[in-house]
Each structure stands twice: as structure tokens, then as C-alpha cells.
Chain A
Amino acid sequence: MAELVEFLARQLVDEPDEVRVEREERDDVLVLLLHVAPNDVGKVIGRQGRIARALRAVVRAGGVRENRRVQLEIAG
């Protein structure tokens, strides 16, 4: 799931080399922290947060098979 978020973020930003995803276990939730270059934060959030919402929808679907909750946080 982290690899997928990394791939998707790289498709959207100007500096793909700066994309990094950290995994963090919080209770029974897997939290993915997405880091991008400062100038690219807006690109992974999108107008009215629509890119971030789309990324979260994909991440949520990815958790279904693994039977766990996955959350995406944009850490910048």
C-alpha cells in the first residue's frame, strides 16, 4: 500500500525524487505519512482537497483485502 501511494504521488508532483512514504502503526490502524517537496504539497492535496480525497479513497479500498484500516496523512 505504501508503494502504491508513493507511485501515485510521483505521478502528480514536480519533484518525484522527493516523494517518501513512512509507515506508522497506531493501535490497529496503519498510518501512511506522505512526504513531498514543499512546493509539491498543493499537488497532492489538490483543489478543494480533491486529490487527497481520491488518494484516501484508494488507500481505504486497499485496506479492505488486508482487513485493516489504513489512513493517509500528508506530512509535507
Chain B
Amino acid sequence: MSEDGSLRVETTGETVGEAKWSALRELERLHPTLDKSAVRFQVVSEGERGLLGVGYAPARVVAVVDEDAIGPPVEESEAAARARELVRRVAEGIGVECRIDVREDDDAVHVLCAGPELGLLIGKHGQTIDAIQYLANASARRGGGEAKDVVVDAAGYRDRRRATLETMAVRSAQQALREGRAELEPMTAIERKIVHLRLKEFPGVETSSEGAEPNRFVVVTSE
């Protein structure tokens, strides 16, 4: 954003038309509510077609749009803003650089972290990211109110973890069928639920949980 409140991007393309097109796309990405008819173009260079790749120069275009045409930013709900701020503060405090995106659907607020080194944010066995998620949920429910679940994810960690848990669940079920009983490692309630659900339709086994938090674990037994 420049000082007079207008937004400006510079792009290149093989032709002026292509450069304008990619400038529009770039502006739209930055501001989805943009009024496209208000975008003004300045052609910096027509470009040179060149011959056999010699003397080629791309067309260069500057696209400018006034602040008024950008429209209001997409409103974030209070719950989403609160979750975003908590994760942002924790990442900053731990010393992890990350971009934070928040998506909200009917069931949950999803806070997604992206960045070059998220290992510290995830922690051993996901300890740190689970802790952040727990705190975000506690913060959302302060005062005992109803609130959507907050899911905190980094670099696709939750999907990978789910796949691991489901593999472990199936392996334990096979062991239970052979030996009558199998115990999984201690897990959080959310992770235990993934195991229970995976084995719900698995023929010949039943699941339950034993032990006290934080060492509660799933037990698989043959029927």
C-alpha cells in the first residue's frame, strides 16, 4: 500500500495483455473484494518479441487501484480473531516465524501455520502444538461459554498424525485378534477418538480407554 492509500503492483508478461492479466490476478489475490473496473494500468514497456530468443524483453505493466475500490477486508469472527492472536503470540514468544491463516466452518475454527521451520512449534510427538491447541480452546471457553472447537495445525501435521494413528490402530487390532489384547501408547482425547473411530467397523475387535490423564490409552480387545 503506498502513501496515498492506493495499491500498486508491477507485473510482466509476453505481451501487454498478459502482463495486465497477471496484474489483475495479483490484485485479486491480495484483495478478493476488489472492484476490477477501478484498476488503472500504466504500460511501462511494450516489450520486444525478439528473434529466436535474442533481444526478447517482457512487456511491463503497473496496475494501480484506489483504496476506496478495494472494499472492506473480509471480517473475521471474534472467535477466529482471538484464536489467531493467541497462536501469533505463542509463535512469536517461542521464536518461530510463520504465516497464520484462519478458516472457520460450522464445526471449528482452524488456525493454520505455514513457514520454513515449524518443528519447534509442533514439538516432540506434537506436544507443543497440542498444548497451544488446548490453551486456544480454554481461552475460547473462558467463563464457561459455548464455543466452537479450535484446531491448531502446522505444515499439515494433523493429517500426518491422523495417518500414523490409523496405521497404529489397525496394527493393534491385528495384534488383538492374535493375542486377545493390545495397548496403544498414551494419547490425548482427540487422538484416542481417531483410534476408536478407525476401529469401530473393524471386524472382531472392541476398543476402550484405560488409565488416568495424561497417560490414558486405548485398549483393543478381541470380541
Residue ranges of A at the interface with B (Cβ–Cβ < 8 Å)? 1, 3-4, 7-8, 11-14, 46, 48, 50-51, 53-55, 57-58, 60-62, 64-66
Contacts and interface: CB of A to CB of B under 8 A. Distances in A.
B214 interface: yes
Which among B120, B130, B138, B143 has the highest number of chain A CB atoms within 10 Å?
B138
Contacts of A46: 138
Contact of A4 (B93, B131, B143, B214): B93
20 contacts: A3-B93, A4-B89, A7-B89, A8-B86, A12-B135, A46-B138, A48-B214, A50-B134, A50-B214, A51-B134, A51-B135, A53-B131, A54-B132, A57-B127, A58-B135, A61-B123, A64-B94, A65-B94, A65-B120, A66-B95
Contacts of A12: 135, 138-139, 142
Q: Which 8 A-B pairs have the closest CB atoms?
A: A4-B93, A57-B131, A65-B95, A54-B131, A11-B139, A54-B134, A61-B128, A61-B94
B213 interface: yes
- Prevailing SS type, chain B contact patch: helix
Given A11-B135, A64-B120, A58 B213 contact: no
B44 to A, nearest CB: 44
A48 B214 CA distance: 8
Interface residues of B, number: 25
B121 interface: yes
A43 B193 CA distance: 25
B128 A57 contact: yes
